[in-house]
Structure 1
Amino acid sequence: MAHDTVHPAPAPATPARVLLPQILPALVVGVAASLLFVGVSALAGKLQNVLWQDLPDALGIGRYSVLWMIIMLTCTGVLVGLIVWKVPGHAGPDPATLGLGGAPPLAPAVLPGLLLATGLMLAGGPSLGPENPIIASNIALAYWLGRRFVPRLPGGLWIALAEAATIGALFGTPVAAALLLSEALAGQQAKGPLWDSVFAPLVAAGAGAITTTLVAHPTLDLGLPPLARPGWTDVLAAMVVAAAAAALGMVAVYAFPYVHGAFLRLRHPMVALPAGGLVLGLLAALGGHLTLFKGLDEVGDLAKDPDGWSAGQFLTMAVVKLAALLVAASCGFRGGRIFPSVFIGAAFGLFAHALVSAVPPALGVAAGVLGMLLAITRQGWVSLFTAAVLVASPAIIALLCIASLPAWLLVTGRPQMQLHEDGTPVR
């Protein structure tokens, strides 16, 4: 006897009267999150100019000489080590145990040390970006102030608003935040239409993105020659480059717990961070000054002249930057891994272009960034989005979707570049 299939009734949609009161808090969080990000970035940029231009010029030392790079990165390790050691809150938990989001909100007392350590890191040259500390700081502030002044809204909403707002501010568009939220919600039990769940966070992300755009005028487009109508060789090239970049990224992922463990055995931040800074200075001497800092400005320099370096030079920069990211993330510097991964992937993609001239620069860069981000972040939608907007070519999107498949097979189910408290990798 045949049985009728019984489908569960869909969860009811959220009434507008519930969503409307969330708009104003979302707008406030979006603007505030963007201003914190822009403010920290601007102050770090001014300090960077002092440390890497004014000071070496006054001392008569080359701005990016080997000696100056080693001195500056070691001194940055000393200063951040002092903050981690002495400032209340110790600049937050071990960054190796943190991902892009999802951690419990930090106590407000931790934030001054965390933001100070982040600003010094951004100015001093280690290969990390601002995303993780800024997201954590905005979540802590939104959660603490929101629960204090608007207690009727659930604490989880404040966390979602702050995370979405910061992602929107970082990328200058709410699309990245919407994709990240959709990916996070995909693994959760549905409580209604997806758009109801992302409505208020999307408002916050839009406010954060617009504020950043109006104040700082950011752009991710590298200005590379657009890709013409793709052919079969372009499909093959995108798949090979993305998979090879993912494989290269997984080398750092597998090495992460061992490198982190080596620095952990130094037992004190005033030993581990200066030692990490010294190693980063030596790596910069090997890879050149373009392998310093978070990497977004430097990847723009690469894109201005995609034929200006040899295949060996591009590969050297990609490998050195990956090693610098691994060391900086292991020794205790506070920062994120998305923006340095963009530089690594772009350099690897330009290596592919220099090695095989039939690979267009835009295709090489987009596929390289896609593969590297999939390995380092394990965020599929954000990886696709970031790779696509770097080259601003509609023809690239279909290629990237195809190229993501073999790259994802290489990374899924394997260790991530994040550790549990006991030092074992998250899977």
Structure 2
Amino acid sequence: MTTPPPVAEIPNPPVGLHWSNPLVRLFSPESYLLLLAAGVGLSTGAAIVGFHLLYESLHQGVFSWLTSTLSAWGGHQTLALIPLLGGLVMGGLILIWPRFGPSMTGLIGLARGTGGDEPLRTPQKLFAASLSLASGASLGPEGPSVESGGNLGLAIARWAKMSRERQLLLIGAGAAAGIAAGFNAPIAGVFFAFEVVLGTSFAGAAVSAVLIAAVLSALVAQVGLGAQPAFSLPDYVVRSPLELPLYLGLGVLASLVSSSYMALVQVLQQAFRGETAIGAVLGRIPRSLRPALAGLIVGLVALQFPQVLGVGYETIEGLLSGMSLTPLTLVLLLIGKLGLTALCLASGFVGGGFAPAMFLGAVLGSFYGWVLTAFFPTSWIPIATPPAYAMVGMAAVLAGSVRAPLTAILLLFELTRDYRIVLPLMAAAGLSAWLADRLRPKATHSDLPGLPQKREPDLPLRLPVEVALRPVDCWLPSDLTADQALAQLIEAASYHALVHDRHDRVLGLVTLPDLQRSLSATPTEPLLAIASRELIWVHCGESLAEAIARMDVRGLQQLPVLAGGTDESAVAMTAVQGWVDRDSIQQALNLAEAQDQLLAHQARQLTAPVFTEKA
């Protein structure tokens, strides 16, 4: 008799639940998932509270003392030394921890089993972000908040030995909790998780898990930091419905700013990696000295424009309250903040891009509102004041930067709590995101911390499911019990199996976690009572995009593949061609990308001019 392989050798571990934990026996799988999501929300909320308190302590304590001391010694010009000192300390941290844990893209890769085994370093990342922001780096706190929530979600999912799809779900719940606690905006946090991180339309317990995490995280943040939003906004004033088309012009400008913002971040990151012409110089600078260089430049610019320092919420609140700045100052602030934020992100400071995007939007909106009030004939259409356009501009630039218009719209709606702003927000943010996607169609928003990388959108559309097809490793007769089925599944070294009756008709699907749950409760439970009977299929000839969409709808890890034209109401075993799962799809996409790169390289070689020596 063949000895079954050990469970550790089964592909795609970890896949089950933590059966030694007594909580598993007390709750159903869905209830246990919601309990874990509550833990993610509470722990993320507590982490964000600690993060903000640490940042404020460093900012108001250490760096304020340094500022006063240096000013007494060398005057106002010594302000430039504060970001420089922060950059030097950041360089020391980089020598200790070359990486501060995985990004959102890395977390998703870890959950799917394609991201190696990078350690999770939530405390180190939050400390580095606190130091960066307190010293004046031109960044925001939201990126570290989102990534810390994702780290905690993955850590809790690993502790509970959850399946990969549920690990991914708890990462999304942690990201939602990070936004909810950071902005005191739980609704925007939920939409951020589904629109940006998960990129899915999960239903049922999945939505509930993200909701619970966001609500509890916001509750903890309100208890620890107060119930006020991240920054206060004035009432939005509607002058006339005829003014709405003017917000479309703001959306067009916002798309240009957000596209420039993302492009500059990417260019500077490539330069520090030595991949561009300017990178011949920047690429030679040691990683530990790059934050100091960026800090010095930030400090020098801050001597003339101190508004570029740090998060910038004070400047945003000032613009929204009607603070008077000259048009030239607004333009210079827009250019300076854009460049310094890209420089800080690329050089190694730890922070996020949300707050800078909203800063850019507020400045752009103020300038746009000033132009309208100065040159537009108000006798035709009543024009709102510049602060109204600043509010809408914040959402428009944010939507274009993260390609998430719903998140941006709901975030500003939660901050203002004013329904009258919704129509201008929808017009400007929707147009900005659409145009930004057209201006840079192959761009990804992974350059901003807290945001995952998106693959080239047309690649899954042009690949059929056959390129990712894997054979069915295990068939289970429907008359087996749970313990018998588990033994056969382990012997086949498979994560999932199809269940069939004595007439060779496919009746359902069962996974390793399903059988493990039953084994701990009722080992002799009939297999048909455990299996999922409502199967979702994909047919040969359909695209990988179709398969991904169907897996995303239910949060599935795999789909069975049928021969083209098969009636799904009565499927015979012979009609099943195999499986596609997330790992096989990822491999197929990676190979297709590599093939595209090779073909492009060969095409460039064929079209390159050939020089020959003259006789």
State the TM-score, normalizing by the size of structure 2.
Answer: 0.59
| Cα displacement (A) at 1:103 | 5.4
Once the two structures are overlaid, the 10-residue window that deviates more, 237-246 or 57-66, is: 57-66
Q: Which residue of structure 2 aligns with residue 74 of structure 1?
A: 84
- Return closer, same or farther for 1:185/1:141 CA change in 2, 3 Å cut-off: closer
Over aligned residue pairs, what C-alpha RMSD do you find?
Answer: 3.0
Once the two structures are overlaid, the 10-residue window that deviates more, 239-248 or 307-316, is: 307-316
Q: Which residue of structure 2 aligns with residue 224 of structure 1?
A: 234
Q: Does 1:266 align with 2:294?
A: no
Kindly indicate which of the two structures has a greater share of residues assigned to helix.
Answer: 1
Which structure has the greater CA radius of gyration?
2
Matched-pair contact (CA < 8 Å) for 1:226–1:392: no
Out of 302, 308, 312, the residue aligned to residue 284 of structure 1 is: 302
Task: Look up the SS of the partner of 1:356 in the other structure.
Answer: helix
Structural mapping, 1:3-402, within 5 Å? 17-61=28-72, 65-68=76-79, 70-87=80-97, 90-92=99-101, 102=108, 104=110, 107-108=118-119, 110-148=121-159, 150-151=160-161, 154-184=166-196, 188=200, 194-217=203-226, 218-220=228-230, 222-228=232-238, 230-232=240-242, 234-264=243-273, 265-286=283-304, 288-304=305-321, 306-357=322-373, 358-402=383-427
Task: Look up the SS of the partner of 1:396 in the other structure.
Answer: helix
Distance in 2 (CA, whole Å) between partners of 1:82 and 1:403 is 43
Distance in 1 (CA, whole Å) between partners of 2:418 and 2:75 is 34
| Cα displacement (A) at 1:328 | 0.9
Matched-pair contact (CA < 8 Å) for 1:64–1:289: no
| Cα displacement (A) at 1:279 | 1.8
Q: Which residue of structure 1 aligns with residue 570 of structure 2?
A: none
Distance in 2 (CA, whole Å) between partners of 1:312 and 1:281 is 21
Cα offsets for 1:46-77 (capped at 9, x unmatched): 11112443233234449993431x21111111
Amino acid at match of 1:289: P
Matched-pair contact (CA < 8 Å) for 1:19–1:199: no
Amino acid at match of 1:21: Y
Matched-pair contact (CA < 8 Å) for 2:36–2:156: no
Count the aligned residue pairs.
397
Larger relative contact order (Cα-Cα within 8 Å, sequence gap ≥ 6) = 1
Matched-pair contact (CA < 8 Å) for 1:249–1:372: yes
Matched-pair contact (CA < 8 Å) for 1:147–1:155: yes
| Cα displacement (A) at 1:384 | 1.4
Cα offsets for 1:358-390 (capped at 9, x unmatched): 342343112211221123211221121233344
Cα offsets for 1:153-202 (capped at 9, x unmatched): 743343233222222211213201221233258854x66xx343211111
- List runs of 5+ in structure 2 lacking aligned partners: 1-26, 112-116, 274-282, 374-382, 457-615
Cα offsets for 1:109-142 (capped at 9, x unmatched): 6334322211111211111122222332333333
Distance in 1 (CA, whole Å) between partners of 2:358 and 2:105 is 17
Task: Look up the SS of the partner of 1:31 in the other structure.
Answer: helix
- List runs of 5+ in structure 1 lacking aligned partners: 1-15
- Return closer, same or farther for 1:82/1:301 CA change in 2, 3 Å cut-off: same
Q: Percent identity over the alignment?
A: 21
| Cα displacement (A) at 1:319 | 2.1
Amino acid at match of 1:251: S
State the TM-score, normalizing by the size of structure 1.
Answer: 0.83
Matched-pair contact (CA < 8 Å) for 2:154–2:167: yes
Matched-pair contact (CA < 8 Å) for 2:367–2:386: no
Cα offsets for 1:299-341 (capped at 9, x unmatched): 123333x142222222222221111111111111111100111
Amino acid at match of 1:133: P
- Return closer, same or farther for 1:346/1:323 CA change in 2, 3 Å cut-off: same
Matched-pair contact (CA < 8 Å) for 2:101–2:120: no
Distance in 2 (CA, whole Å) between partners of 1:333 and 1:252 is 17
